[in-house]
Amino acid sequence: MQPQTPNAPTRRVIIDGVDRTADVTPAPSMMYEALLNQREVLRDQVDNLENQRQSLNSEIQQGRVQGASKVGVESRIMAVDKRIADIEKQISGVDAQIANAAAIPGAIVMHRENMPDQGPPEEAFVLGGLFMIIVFLPLSIAMARRIWKRSAVAVSSIPADLMARLARIEQAVDTSAVEIERIGEGQRFVTKLFSESKVPVLPPNNDRVS
What distances in angstroms separate CA 49 from CA 27, 76, 78, 79, one per listed residue?
Answer: 33, 11, 11, 10
State pLDDT tens for residues 100-125. 888 888 777 655 455 555 666 777 77
Q: How far is CA 33 from CA 26, 98, 128, in A?
A: 11, 9, 42
Taking CA atoms, 91 is separated from 30, 78, 103, in Å, by 19, 20, 19
**How many angstroms separate the CA atoms of 94 and 74, rounded?**
30
Give Cα separations from 73 to 58, 63, 79 (angstroms): 10, 12, 10
What share of the chain in percent tops pLDDT 70? 71
pLDDT score for 150: 73
Task: Please name the residues in contact with 49: beta carbons below 8 A apart, sequence gap of 6 or more.
Answer: 80, 83, 84, 87
Please answer whether residues 13 and 72 qualify as being in contact, where contact means their C-beta atoms are separated by less than 8 angstroms.
no
Give the C-alpha separation, 187 to 173, whole Å: 21
Q: Angle CA(110)–CA(26)–CA(24) in degrees, nearest 5?
A: 160
Neighbours of 46 (CB within 10 A): 16
28-69 per-position pLDDT tens digit: 888 888 889 999 999 999 999 999 999 988 888 887 878 888
